[in-house]
Amino acid sequence: MEMGLERLTKIVLEMGTLSETTVTQAIEAYSTGKDVREEVFANSERLAALQDDVNDLATEMIARYQPVASDLRFITSSMEIGYGFSRLGRYAYDITDILSIYRDLSSCDKTDVQQAAKQAADMIHMSIKAFIERDVMMAGKLKTMDNVVDDLYRNYLRKVTKEVDGDMKCYISGTLVLRYLERIADHAEDVGEAVAYTVTGKRASRK
């Protein structure tokens, strides 16, 4: 079973690295206007395929070895984490899709979006590090970081509803991107919760 656990770890780490790269590509594309839809879509498809690999391997290991305690927690958590990383790829593609709809967003104020994007990107990186190091304290910090992204999204919505002048495509695109970033942050937090469960055997209370 040891070889299976190592293989599972390797696939999940590959997914984490690829999802971080893919989200970064999408965020940079929104900021610069560069069209990276094809690259991001290819990465998203690769992440979906890797998620299938995680699920298949995890299911096989459970059926063959009937693991218990920490090994079983790690295997089931790997399935949850794989799902989260796969969703990051999908949301990254959704962000690049916004550019294809609204085209030129160079005149838009992207300050709020870029702040949320930086926080979400940091969360992905931290979630991967927490998984590698099985660091429960680090994983726990992701909830606080997620609250920052949530607040940025809500505050932006409040600001937009008060605006009577301005370019609507900026407001709509900004709202959509922030919504995707909010979901990305949620999944990064979920990875942290799965790490904590792997180590402690306890589930954190949901928001």
Residue 204 identity (one-letter amino acid): A
Q: Which domains does the chain have, with CATH numbers?
A: 2-200 (1.20.58.220)
Q: Is the pLDDT of residue 206 over 70?
A: no
Over range 81-99, report the average pLDDT: 95
Least confident of 40-49, 99-108, 191-200: 99-108
Q: Is the pLDDT of residue 40 over 60?
A: yes
CA distance 62 to 120: 33
Among candidates 119, 149, 142, which has minimal Cα distance to 193?
A: 142
Least confident of 34-48, 97-111, 118-132, 169-183: 97-111
Among candidates 82, 95, 81, which has minimal Cα distance to 24?
A: 95
CA distance 194 to 40: 26
CA distance 29 to 60: 39
Over range 29-40, report the average pLDDT: 93
The answer for residues whose C-beta is within 8 angstroms of residue 201's C-beta and 6 or more apart is 69, 70, 73
**Model confidence at 46, in pLDDT bands (50, 70, 90)?**
very high
Among candidates 16, 36, 33, which has minimal Cα distance to 133?
A: 16
Q: Give 124-176 pLDDT, tens digit per residue.
A: 999 999 999 999 999 999 999 999 999 999 999 998 888 766 688 899 999 99
Q: Is the pLDDT of residue 205 over 90?
A: no
CA distance 89 to 25: 10
**Quick one: DSSP state of residue 134?**
T
The pLDDT assigned to 102 comes to 87
Q: Give 59-78 pLDDT, tens digit per residue.
A: 999 999 999 999 999 999 99
The model carries a pTM of 0.93
Over range 100-122, report the average pLDDT: 92
The pLDDT assigned to 168 comes to 86
